[in-house]
């Protein structure tokens, strides 16, 4: 982290939902910098979130957050974006942390994370929230009809479907993107007037709804999070020509189900 590329963040559509938080800094933030800009976020354990040096942590990562509010934050892009996502989606991050804590408390001797925590970790690292108002668009994604979704329905993006980066590893990857990047989606059906809202209000509504679904135990397995080759989203990659979308190694077809014997 030798610079703080605000021009890049401002001109890259994938960063738009978190841009208000990135603009709070003129250079790469230190731990003390987060203390001056962070909004008050409280875990379900009653602790206030703060971003601290990993060397000061005494408990397992999720336990330290739940019980003490202390998020281990290295001074690198990965953890800086994690802190940013905490600010942008506080309700969802608190709910994910509580999910981990409760799962660990329910089976404290287990060394296996299990499908629920696997799904939570996958969404936390490389998740995309996918609001949509027309179900046919979601059907195209699930069926891996990428040409139809990204090219034929290009005008629907931002009007009937959108993608909000939630995974902090995804934000890190977008600093130097490469063909092959894929996210795991949490689709949320919304009303058509959702897309007329200010981007901040859209993000807040999605944060609320994701948190509610986590609390309602909606997240059970990684298979619930369909893949999305997100460089295909209109304007998310500078070379979106016909050859790009014809690359079936990136825009893979759906696997054919085996016929029953």
Q: How far is CA 174 from the centre of its chain?
A: 12
Q: How many CA atoms lie within 13 A of 51 on its CB side?
A: 25
pLDDT in tens, the chain (261 residues): 778 999 999 999 999 999 999 999 999 999 999 999 998 999 999 999 999 999 999 999 999 999 999 999 999 999 999 999 999 999 999 999 999 999 988 877 766 779 999 999 999 999 999 999 999 999 999 999 999 999 999 999 999 999 999 999 999 999 999 999 999 999 999 999 999 999 999 999 999 999 999 999 999 999 999 999 999 999 999 999 999 999 999 999 987 665 444
What is the pLDDT, as a whole number, of residue 106? Answer: 84
What is the pLDDT, as a whole number, of residue 257? Answer: 60
pTM: 0.94
Cα 169 to Cα 56, 173, 184, 225, distances in angstroms: 23, 6, 12, 16
For residue 128, the cross-strand partners are 165, 185
- How far apart (Å, rounded) are the C-alpha atoms in residues 146 and 251? 6
* Strand residue runs (E) in the chain: 50-52, 70-72, 127-132, 164-165, 183-189, 227-228
């Amino acid at each position: 982290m030798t610079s703080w590329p605000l021009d890049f963040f401002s001109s890259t559509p994938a960063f738009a939902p978190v841009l208000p938080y990135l603009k709070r800094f003129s250079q790469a933030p230190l731990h003390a910098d987060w203390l001056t800009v962070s909004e008050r976020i409280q875990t379900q354990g009653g602790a206030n979130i703060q971003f601290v040096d990993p060397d000061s942590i005494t408990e397992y990562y999720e336990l330290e957050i739940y019980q003490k509010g202390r998020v281990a934050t290295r001074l690198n892009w990965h953890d800086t974006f994690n802190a940013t996502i905490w600010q942008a989606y506080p309700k969802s991050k608190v709910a994910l942390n509580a999910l981990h804590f409760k799962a660990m408390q329910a089976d404290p001797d287990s060394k296996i994370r299990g499908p629920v925590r696997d799904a939570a970790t996958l969404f936390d690292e490389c998740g995309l929230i996918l609001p949509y108002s027309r179900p046919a668009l979601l059907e195209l994604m699930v069926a891996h009809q990428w040409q139809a979704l990204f090219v034929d329905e290009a005008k629907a993006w931002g009007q009937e479907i959108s993608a909000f980066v939630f995974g902090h590893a995804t934000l890190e990857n977008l600093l130097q993107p490469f063909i092959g990047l894929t996210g795991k989606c949490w689709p949320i059906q919304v009303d058509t007037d959702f897309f007329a809202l200010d981007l901040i209000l859209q993000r807040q509504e999605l944060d609320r709804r994701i948190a509610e679904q986590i609390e309602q135990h909606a997240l059970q397995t990684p298979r619930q999070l369909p893949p999305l080759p997100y460089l295909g989203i209109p304007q998310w990659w500078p070379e979106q020509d016909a050859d790009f979308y014809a690359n079936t190694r990136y825009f893979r077809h759906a696997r054919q189900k085996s016929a029953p014997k």
